[in-house]
Amino acid sequence: MELYLIRHPEVNLEKGICYGHAEVELRQPFSGLPDELIKKWALAKAVIYSSPSKRCVQFGSPLAEKMGRDVLFFRDVRLKELNFGNWEMKRWDDIDPEELNKWMIDFVHEQVPGGESFIDLNKRVESFLGEHVVKKNNENDTILVVTHAGVIRSALCQLEGIPLENAFKIKVDFGSVTKVSLDPFKKKV
């Protein structure tokens, strides 16, 4: 089985704005994934899981249509980005520096005011991976997950044994596709 973690394309929002759970549109026009990948996936027994956020569904739903056949497409709330609570849609520069510094020192455990910590997000991702990747390992040839940078970082930390404190060192570009080896995760479970 192959697992692909796909980050949605760039959003239509000026740089420097904090967003996670906030609904934002994709920047138009957005580029899709390479045709050779889509053709490869279309030949496999595939399933697509998507964050229910508009920016992921806008990208994942057409991908499922392009793949054709009987590709299954599911939305899963556990794949939503980090909830930035009171900081949502604020400029990073306008967030209370004391709150922001406290979070940046220990983003893994420190809860964003009115939101969640990275460990909260990580628990959601762990639950998703356990249910849809580990338990269903032999049901599908290919699993595609259309989601956000934070979720991808969390998944990679779990699957590759990377400490959560190093999550933000993992580069996850808009529209990137990351193929993951499942062997390390299967050994842990």
Phi, psi (5° rounding) for residue 145?
-125, 110
Q: Provide the pLDDT confidence category of residue 137 given band limits of 50, 70 and 90.
A: low
Print the domain residue range for 86: 2-188
Integer Cα distance of 89 and 13 in angstroms:
9
Q: Give the confidence band of 187 by pLDDT, cuts at 50, 70, 90.
A: very low
Burial (CB count <10 Å: 0-12, 13-18, 19+), residue 70: exposed
Instruction: Specify the pLDDT at position 35.
Output: 86
Residue 175 has pLDDT above 90, yes or no: yes
> What is the dihedral sign for C-alpha 172, 176, 181, 186?
positive
* CA pair distance 72, 31, nearest whole angstrom: 22
Q: What's residue 189's pLDDT?
A: 31
What pLDDT shows up at residue 30?
82
Average pLDDT over residues 96-125: 97
CATH of the domain at 18: 3.40.50.1240
**Band of the pLDDT at 76, cuts 50, 70, 90?**
very high
Decide: pTM greater than 0.85.
Answer: yes
Q: What's the Cα-to-Cα distance from 46 to each of 111, 143, 166, rounded to whole Å?
A: 36, 6, 31
Confidence class for position 136, pLDDT limits 50, 70, 90:
low
Over the stretch 31-51, which tens digit does the pLDDT of each residue have?
Answer: 778 888 888 888 888 899 999
Q: Which residue has the higher pLDDT, 186 or 111?
A: 111
Number of structural domains the chain divides into: 1
